Amino acid sequence: MDPILYLVHRLPYPPDKGDRIRAFHILKHLARQGPVHLATLADEPISNEARATLAEICESLAIIPQSSTRPFRMLWSLATGRTASEGAFDSRALRQIVESWCRTHRYRGCVVSASSLTPYLRLEGLRGVPAIVDMVDVDSQKWLDYAASGRPPKSWLYRLEGHRLRRLESELPVRARAVTLVSDAEADIYRQFAHRGRIEVITNGVDLDYFNPRDEPESGCVFVGALDYWPNVDGICWFCREVWPEIHRRHAQARLSIVGRRPVAAVRRLASCPGVEIVGPVPDVRPYYARAAVVVAPLRIARGVQNKLLEALAMSKALVASPPTIAGLKAQPGIHLLKANEPEEWQETILRLLHESTWRKQLGEAGRRFVEKHHHWDRCLEPLGRLLDEVTSASPSSHEVRK
């Protein structure tokens, strides 16, 4: 069988953050269908474990470290009318690898992990190769949301990036035979400005064997997420400023643990808040989920399906989340999790959960049943396998010519 080419914008191992988790499970799913050639950029040091794990899955593997010129490429890309995102993931070495592989292999299809990698589909070797762009979220909307909530001059740059990304995203159906997104909500946004082509929903899953319930004493709250990612930073800073002080005043023993990689200065300063602990990066987040009575997800800007929510539900935890955070999830508030918006709503909900262990247990058990039914990775990725078979078996004449 001819191989599949998988182009990924960040090294998909270890699967410890959103884009890596999805890309890693897609990689394993593709490999079960046939040989896969993985070409990926890497913006962090590459461990021997990562190389060995990926090499075991793939028939061919190329890992291209991002160079120190990345910020200049982003600025040049903006200056020349493109997006900063395209500049961030532009790599001559990656182009050379792909062209070299295309000279020696006939690819059955190509899967691209993000809209910012679609310029690679213009390479001579990939002309005529059926492609699927796993857009995941509507990134243009994310940048426009940033612009709406930010201040000049950053908000001007965010808006410019958002509008240029929207132009790029609207053209994807011309360059690919299908575009996939993580939720119906994201697909609905995308269809508003990209009417042509095939658009499919491939939702996120969770490793139900790894994230499973543990019987441990519970206390306090936990927030888990990348602590250099602006929506996480904004959300947890708002929570510590507007919500947590009243909870701690009324429940002096309550503790909030903030867990995640690369905490920025704004997050580190939260350690001065009474009852707040900045844990930072950990090799395994499961003990922190297990020991928490309540998991909080107070993001004010969110796109797609949050892995942190799926992990908490899989571990049977009582979860309280903001409306934007659960917009892409089909879980029912009040049954599988709880929704809170205003500070007072957050405070009353969390304080009640801290005092009512039976209610926490009921919510947690319902959340676990929900992800077992709807977010098992194999079930989530079955539509991707069928889609790949369809687009790679269809005759070229039935599709638009790639420009």
How far is residue 178's CA from residue 265's CA, in Å, rounded to a whole number? 41
Q: Which residue's entry shows tokens 């942190």?
A: 308
Residue 394's pLDDT is 73
At 325, list the tokens: 């955070």
Q: Residue 278 belongs to what H/E stretch?
A: strand 276-280
Domains delineated in the chain? 4-205+377-398 (3.40.50.2000), 221-374 (3.40.50.2000)
Q: What is the mean pLDDT of the chain?
A: 95
Q: Can you say whether residue 14 is alpha, beta or left, with left for phi > 0 and alpha for psi between -120 and 50 degrees?
A: beta
C-beta of residue 181 within 8 angstroms of C-beta of residue 137? yes
Query: How much is the average pLDDT of 19-39?
Result: 97
The answer to whether residues 387 and 179 touch, using CB atoms and an 8 Å cutoff, is no
Is the backbone peptide bond immediately before 153 cis, with ω within 30 degrees of 0? yes
Structure tokens at 284: 């395994």
What is residue 76's predicted lDDT score, i.e. its pLDDT?
A: 96
* pLDDT value at 364 more than 90: yes
Q: Is the pLDDT of residue 398 over 50?
A: no
- Dist CA 89 CA 86 (whole Å): 6
Instruction: Report the Cα 122 to chain-centroid distance in Å.
Output: 26
Strands 131-136 vs 178-181: parallel, antiparallel or unpaired = parallel
Q: Read out DSSP for 105-119?
A: ---SEEEESSGGGGG
Q: Are strands 276-280 and 294-297 parallel, antiparallel or unpaired?
A: unpaired
Residue matched to tokens 């400005």: 193
Angle CA(396)–CA(399)–CA(403) in degrees, nearest 5? 95
pLDDT at position 298 over 70: yes
Flag whether pLDDT at 395 surpasses 90.
Answer: no
Please tell me the distance from the alpha carbon of residue 315 to that of residue 320, in angstroms, as a whole number.
14
> What pTM was estimated for this model as a whole?
0.93
Q: What is the pLDDT of residues 326-341, one digit of tens each?
A: 999 999 999 999 999 9
- What DSSP letter does each residue of 279-308 carry, written as one string? EE--S-SHHHHHH-SEEEE--SS--S--HH
